[in-house]
Structure formats: C-alpha cells, structure tokens
Structure 1
C-alpha cells in the first residue's frame, strides 16, 4: 500500500488541476492556444500513465497545439517558463526541446541553458549527448564555467553516466575521462547544489570504473573544504564496501582499534511499517585519536527467499583515545517504490571502517 501511495503521489504532479494551469498559462502568453484541445490530448487515459509518461504526454500535446515551426514554439515556451508553478513541471519544456529540436543544435542548447534555471534540463540534455557527444560535451564544458549555479549543475548532472530515471550514457561509462574537464572545473564549486551533482556523477563512475575515480580524487589537493566534501560523498559507495583506498582518502584507512559492546536490535520481531532500534557502544582501545566511519548493513529478504545486503550510513567522526561512544539509531521498515519488503529473518551487521564488528537480526512479518 505504501509503495502504491508513493507512486500515486508522484504521478499527481501532473493532475487535472496542473494540466489546467499549464493550459491557462500557455493561453496567457499565446492567446491563439486551444486550451480545450490541449487538455483533451493530455487527459485522455491520464490515470494509467506514470509520472514520466505524463511529462512526455504534455510535451507531445504542446507540440500538437502550438505552431508547427520549432523556433516559433520555442519563443512561446520561453515566455511560459517563468509562469509555471512547479519546478518539476517546467521540465516539460526541455523535454520538448529533446523531442523536436535535435536538428537545430545551437538554438536548442541555448533553450536548454535557459530552461534549466526554472527546473532542470538534465534529462533532455542526454538525448543530445547520445546523438552528438563531442559537440554536446564541448558546450557542457563551457556551462561548467558559467556564473549561474543551475547551468553549472546541468553540466555535471546531465552528463552523469547513470542518471536515475534516465538511460545510461554508455560512451561515458566506457570512458569517464570524456567528462574530465567538466569535473575538474567543478571540483571546488562554492554551490552545494553543484557539489552534490559532482559527487553523484563521480559516485556513478565508481560503479563501473572505481580505479579511475580513485586515481582522479587522489590527484586532487584536498585543502579546500568544498573539494573534501565532494571527495567524501563521491566515494560513499566504495566506503560502504570497505574499499581501503577510498577509506584512506577520507582519513579512515586504518582498521578501527575498538571494541563493540551491547549490540542489540529491538524489537526482534516487527510487522511491516514498524521500526527497529539499533543500540551499541564503541570503545577505543588505543591512546590516539582515530577517524571512524560507522555503517550498518541490513540483509533484506528477497522474493525468492535469498537475501541481499544494503549498507546504510550511520556516522563519521573522530574518537578520542581511550573513550567510549554510545549509539542508538531507529529505522522504520516500510515499502518504497524502489523496494518491496518480504517476510523473514533479516540479518543486521555493524561495520566500522569497512569491517564487520557485530551482528544481530530481526524477523519481519507482513499482512497476507
């Protein structure tokens, strides 16, 4: 039920009221616009469409009801962009560019740069990267030096090898150096919005080319807090796996000199939607301060009855020599669009600097 409710909530970004809003605002900037025809095209079978299918439907309906000339329509969409009442909804406009502007490269690039300020052109840009990677990457490298943080973020986010909700960029997966100039320009960006994208971009790289990502980050001078932030978050997947090079970069390369006491999970049996609490205490066994990265893994039961581990970040901190630190962490177990939980025994492991120090388990039941 939770999974269905979450999916429905996302779809409702494009509900009947929002469709009317788009129609009214388009009519305001282009009085010849046929609101009734547009609304009929979008709402036909709307309930059955997913979020991204609804976004595409709006783009296609705009194409069907606006002037056939691409540049004339772009002028209308430029005037429409600041009038739309949702950043996600403005992504319809770059989607229009991706669908109908691939043969007008430079005009389309200027349009994507403009539209990204209102929402994001990240999905649309990928179609141009796939069709013409050399020209697209050249433009994106220029964007990575732009004064506007939204444009700089587009350079990184649009070229991510594995952007969620979009197709993979196989050429960049095969050769991540293609985006090297973009990442180099952004590795100390003052905007957190941009830094998050750069970190996610590099985290994508670690999934297919971990050595290359590590070589790149090891080549950086980590004396800028912005760069340090990117490095730490870019390496999160490798850190969760206990990769020694990644742990060394963030100052936790040595095995943790600690003991763990009182590791427990309560309650030991829960129903779907309930929460479990992890409690334990870490004690240093050396006199020196040490950097610790504390994670935990839940081995989720799959439909087949086998299990698959997912590692969660808990805390990164410096533990003074000879001191102890207690922990209590609560996690609710409920379905998401990305995970359906299955009944059974779920093993939980405590990891410190990539090594398992303790384990326990809980049993999950769910309604039939």
Structure 2
C-alpha cells in the first residue's frame, strides 16, 4: 500500500496552486511552488499538509476573509471530485493556522470545508480558544441538513479524538457535549451515528457513569439507537463492567461448563495460534459475548494484556463449539517478544480459564 503522504506530491501541489491562481490573479504561483516543493519530499504526512496550507498566506495577496472566500471557490472546483477527502483537509488546516483571531469567519469556513472532507482536527483549536462560543456553532451544526456538517458537530468535540489534540476540559466535564449527542443519536445517517458512538466511547474512558446514564435513558427506543449505544459502550464492555453488560443482556451464566479447551502449546512468530473450546449449559446459552485476552510477554519482563472479540449473539442451543486462530504475523503496531504468553477465555465479562503457550522464533 502506498504511503498516505504521497497523496501530497508535486503533481497535487502544482494543480492546487494552479486552481488558486484561477480564482486570484494576485496569487504568486511561482513563489508558492518554490516554497513548497523545495521541502516537500523530506516531510511526512502531517508536515506536508501543514507546509502546503501555511505557504498560501504569504503568496495570496488578500486579507484573511478574502482568502477564505477564494479557497471556498477552490474547494468547489478542485476538491469536489478530482481529489480525496484527505487532500481537501489542507483547506481546514489553513483556517487552523491563520484563523483563530477571526473566529466567526473561520467557523463558517470550517463548516464549508468539512463537506466532502473533514474539519474535525482544525475546529478543536477554536474550542480551546473559546469553548462556549465554539459549542454554539456545534449546536447549530447538529441541526444542519448536510450529514458532513452534522458529523462535525459530534466528531469535532470528541474528548479523545485520535491523532488530534485532546480537549482537557471535556475529558474532565463533558456536559456540554451531551445535548449534541442527544440531538444526533437517531440521525438518519449511519456516518453521523457512528461518530456519536465514538464520542460516547471517548467519554466513557473518563466519565463512565455519565455514559451509562445516557445508555439507560435511551436503550430500547429503537434498533438503530441500540446498535449505536452498544458500539459506544465497547470499552466498558471490554472491561467487563457488570452494569454495562447487564444493560445489554449479558449476564453471568451460573451453570456454564467449559469443555475441551485445546490450544497449540507453542507458535512461531509469523504463524497462527490455533485454539478451540466448547461452551455448555443445562438450558439454552442465551446471549453470549465471547472474548479472549492475550497476556503478552514484553521487554524487560513486563507484560501487556489485550482483549479480542470472538462473537456476540444469542445462542438458542445449550452448546456452542468455537474454533479460533490468532495471528502472530509481524505488524507495525505491535512488536512481539519470545517467551511464555497466556490466553484467557472470557464469557459475558467473566474470565473462565487461562492457559499458557510459548512464542518462539520461526
């Protein structure tokens, strides 16, 4: 797969500059290309985006408000169908860099630029500058007819948005967010509802009681909302929070029997760990959430645990056979260390049995 940074290449920069020149004869296209292209190839993704956006200001002979209007025209021309949504984020990045002292002009520009792209990163600087004023825009966006703008109302104020600056005040007290999430919880767009779920999941990491209260208030209203709430509760469910599990019908099965828990005694890096087991109950098993936790050997005798989902469904039989394999292929997000590892089976939040296996060299 080609690196995302290569979306911001010389050809993109030249076409982008040409489009700005189309709508502003005073734009110094030659200077812009010189300032950007002399450094572009040495930079990674976010730095490339910032370079492309930040050099507009010194080459576009217009005040900030006029510059935003020109870039709106560029958006409709160059970024409508010829590019990706990621590439279009250079417009919102321009606002983030230069727009904090022009609050209303900037927020209106971000509303436009988020369509077919996203202003979710840029808008956070404005929350930090003036939280209440920014949230007034968010409340308005939550009622917009465009799904991209409604999504921005939720996504932009996530307390822990990945790859973005955190919002410390919302991590401490997310009260202002809930009226937006309440407005959007039954949105017709799955794109928007997924953002609401992710926002709630963020909040649950710092304020689980508030999220549980939101779930209790809204669960059972309709299937779409229930699905949203379950996705929102994924961190709490993984933690085995008893109240959360019970809200979604996952209760401890008192007479649960584990049969034939079998796994490979060792596995090589690059291969799969195979394991299987059977769950049995005197009556039907009912709603089952089946997971497994791997306790990884790390460097310096430290350990790291991670939970993985197997299945979550209603089982109308009294037995369920499960065959599973876990990949130990090399990935960029985890480094594997040789030695003893442990795997634990989890049913409805209850850890039921642990076994060890050895991770070895190929």
Q: What SS does the corresponding residue of 2:88 show, helix, strand or coil?
A: helix
Does residue 198 of structure 2 align to residue 204 of structure 1? no
- After the TM superposition, which of the residue ranges 301-310 and 240-249 deviates more from structure 2? 301-310
In 2, Cα distance between equivalents of 1:93 and 1:163: 20
State the alpha-carbon separation in 2 of the partners of residues 131 and 280 from structure 1.
Answer: 54
Cα distance in 2, alignment partners of residues 341 and 46 from structure 1: 34
Structure 1 residue corresponding to 2:215, chosen from 217, 220, 223: 217
Q: TM-score, normalised by structure 1?
A: 0.90
Match of 1:287 in 2: 283
Higher relative contact order (CA 8 A, sep 6+): 1
Q: Please report how far the alpha carbon of residue 365 of structure 1 lies from its aligned counterpart in structure 2 after TM superposition.
A: 4.8
Shift, 1:201, TM fit: 0.6
Cα pair 1:205 1:213 within 8 Å, conserved? yes
Where structure 1 has 5 or more consecutive residues not aligned to the other structure, the ranges are 1-5
RMSD of aligned residue pairs (Cα, Å): 2.2
Partner of 2:66: 72
Measure the CA separation in 1 of the matches of 2:244 and 2:136: 30
TM-score between the two structures when normalised by the length of structure 2: 0.91
> Which deviates the most, 254-263 or 236-245?
254-263
Q: Which one of 85, 90, 93 corresponds to residue 92 of structure 1?
A: 90
For 1:349, the equivalent position in structure 2 comes to: 344
1:61-88 superposed Cα distances (whole Å, 9 cap, x missing partner): 1122212401111111101113131100
Count of equivalent residues: 358
Partners of 1:37 and 1:195 lie apart in 2 by 44
Match runs of 1:122-141 below 5 Å: 122-141=120-139
Q: 1:267 to 1:52 in 2, by over 3 A?
A: farther
| Separation (CA, whole Å) in 2 of partners of 1:172 and 1:229 | 24
2:267 maps to 269
Take 1:364 and 1:18, find their aligned partners in 2: how far apart are those partners? 46
| 1:63 and 2:73 correspond | no
Task: Find the counterpart in structure 2 of residue 226 from structure 1.
Answer: 224
Change (3 A) 1:340 1:32: farther
* Residue correspondence of structure 1 range 1-368 to structure 2 within 5 A: 9-82=3-76, 83-84=78-79, 85-255=83-253, 257-266=255-264, 268-271=266-269, 274-336=270-332, 338-365=333-360
Are 1:265 and 1:276, in contact at CA under 8 Å, matched by a contact in 2?
no
What SS is found at the alignment partner of 1:283?
strand
Q: Runs of 5+ in structure 2 lacking a partner?
A: none
- Measured after TM superposition, the shift of residue 255 of structure 1 is 3.8
Look up the SS of the partner of 1:351 in the other structure: strand
Local SS of the residue matching 2:301 = coil
1:269-315 CA-to-partner distances (Å, cap 9, x unmatched) read 212xx231443233331324511111122223333331111112221
Partners of 1:279 and 1:328 within 8 A in 2 = yes
The answer to whether the 8 Å contact 1:275/1:333 transfers is yes
Change (3 A) 1:40 1:360: farther
- SS in structure 2 at match of 1:313: strand
Moved more, 260-269 or 184-193: 260-269
Separation of aligned partners in 2, 1:133 and 1:62: 28
